[in-house]
Amino acid sequence: MITMAAPDLRIGLTGRMASGKGEAVRILKNYGLRYISLSDIVRREAAKIHPTLDRGQMQDLGNRLRAQGGAGVLGRMVRELIEAAEPGPWVIDGIRNPAEVMELRKMAGFFLLGIESHIDAILARLKKRGRPTDVVNEAELRAVLEREWGRSEPEDGQQVGPTMDMADFLIDNNGSLPQLEASLEALLKQIGVQHDKKKHGGLSGIV
C-alpha cells in the first residue's frame, strides 16, 4: 500500500518540448504523484476542431484560449480540477506562461521545476519519438522551439523562457535516465519529502 503524508505537494513542470518533462512525470508518478497537464486541456479543445492538428496549430489554439480567458486560464482550469479532486500530491505538466504559474501558486505546496536540455538533444528526441505534431523538418522544429520559448509571441502566448525564470528549482537533463531519476529524488529530499521505498514507491512524509 502507498501511503501519502504530503497531500498538498504540487510539482509543476516547465521547459522546452522534449526536454525530458515526460520522463520526469513518469518518475514522479512512480513516487505516487497523480498527473495532470495543461496541454490536455488544449488537446481536448483541439479534438473538437480536428483530430490531427500540427504543433503550430496546437500552439495557435493554446494562444487563442489564453487570449479569450486570460493568460492564466489553463493554470486556473487545472488548479480548479485539482482542488475539486480527492486530496493527494500532484505533478502538473505543460506550464508555458508566467500567468499560469501565478494561478498554480495559489495552491499550497506548489513548486515550479524547470527541466533544462540542450537544443541538439531536444531535436534528436523529437525526431525519435515521432508524434504527429513532431513530424516536421529540422528548420520547422527549431522555429517551433523558438516560438515556444517566447520569441515573437504575445504576452499571453507561449512564454517558456520567462516561465523558466520563475522556477523554484532547475534540473539539468543532458545525461542519462538514471541521472534524471537521481536528480528528482534529490529534489524531493530538498523540499522535505521522504521516499519510503518499503512502501512501494510512496511518499512517506514531510520532514
pLDDT of residue 100: 96
Average pLDDT of the segment spanning 57-63: 79
As a whole number of angstroms, the distance between CA 191 and CA 186 comes to: 9
How many whole angstroms separate alpha carbon 173 and alpha carbon 192? 22
Q: How far apart are CA 203 and CA 111, in angstroms?
A: 16
pLDDT digits (tens, 9 = 90+) for 150-193: 998 888 888 999 999 999 999 999 999 999 999 999 998 888 87
Q: What's the first-to-final CA gap in the chain, in angstroms?
A: 21
Phi, psi for 40 (deg, rounded to 5): -60, -35
pLDDT, residue 196, reads: 58
Mapping DSSP to helix (H, G, I), strand (E, B) and coil, where does residue 53 land?
A: coil
| Span 64-88, pLDDT tens digits | 888 888 889 899 999 999 999 998 9
Which grid cell sits at 42?
A: 488544449
Beta bridge partners of 11: 91, 111
pLDDT grade for 199, boundaries at 50, 70 and 90: very low
Which domains, ranges and CATH numbers included, belong to the chain? 10-199 (3.40.50.300)
Q: What global pTM score does this model have?
A: 0.83
